[in-house]
């Protein structure tokens, strides 16, 4: 079977992983806030990110989304929406979305990553990148470091 000619059911079968080589109109954007040691930043820890999300651009990023996705998103619906629509489909990394995010990476659905890195070492917790199927290349599209030491990094997937 040639890549790009697989049916949706062939793509989504767990034992048959194929990269989607079709042009998708909408893009899927992942927002993640991590610590220096790569864990999802614990929201119970005091941080300027939680106290002033406007200052760091979090509010704008969330508001730009056409559709916010949660842990119960249907992959078939998501793939169809991306083909038929324009805009930004947005998912934020959190304990309840991490497994669906891993699946999105497995099926090459994530187009952009906005990564906030907090100057904090947590020592344990939930890792952002688990069960990634293999390497992928990303191009930096923006970055900003704030006086608090928090850095915002934006990447898009290279096809």
Could you tell me which residues come within 8 angstroms of residue 8 by beta carbon, excluding any fewer than 6 positions away?
Answer: 76, 79
Which residues form the domain of 102?
8-128+150-157
Question: Is the distance from CB of 124 to CB of 39 less than 8 angstroms?
Answer: yes
> How confident is the model at residue 158, as a pLDDT?
92
Sign of CA dihedral 13, 131, 89, 158: negative
**In this predicted model, what pLDDT tens digit does every residue of 72-82 receive, in sequence order?**
887 777 777 77
> How confident is the model at residue 111, as a pLDDT?
93
Structure tokens that stand for 115 in this block: 């990564």
> How confident is the model at residue 17, as a pLDDT?
46
50: in domain:
yes
Question: Is the distance from CB of 67 to CB of 87 less than 8 angstroms?
Answer: yes
144: in domain:
no
CATH of the domain at 49: 3.40.430.10
Q: Using CA atoms, how far apart are residues 44 and 19, in angstroms rounded to an integer?
A: 37
**In this predicted model, what pLDDT tens digit does every residue of 74-128 receive, in sequence order?**
777 777 777 777 788 889 999 999 988 988 888 888 999 999 999 999 999 999 8
pTM: 0.77
Could you tell me which residues come within 8 angstroms of residue 43 by beta carbon, excluding any fewer than 6 positions away?
Answer: 50
């Amino acid at each position: 079977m040639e890549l790009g000619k697989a049916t949706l059911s062939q793509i989504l079968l767990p034992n048959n992983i194929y990269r989607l080589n079709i042009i998708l109109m909408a893009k899927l954007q992942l927002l993640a806030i991590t610590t220096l040691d790569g864990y999802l930043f614990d929201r119970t820890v005091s941080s300027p990110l939680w106290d002033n999300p406007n200052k760091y651009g979090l509010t704008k990023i969330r508001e730009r989304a056409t559709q916010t996705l949660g842990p119960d998103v249907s992959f078939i619906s998501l793939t169809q929406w991306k083909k038929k629509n324009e805009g930004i489909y947005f998912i934020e990394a959190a304990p309840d979305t991490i497994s669906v995010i891993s699946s999105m990476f497995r099926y090459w659905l994530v187009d952009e990553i906005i990564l906030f890195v907090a100057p904090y070492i947590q020592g344990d917790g939930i890792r952002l990148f688990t069960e990634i199927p293999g390497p992928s290349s990303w191009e930096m599209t923006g970055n900003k470091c704030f006086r608090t030491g928090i850095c915002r990094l934006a990447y898009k997937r290279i096809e």
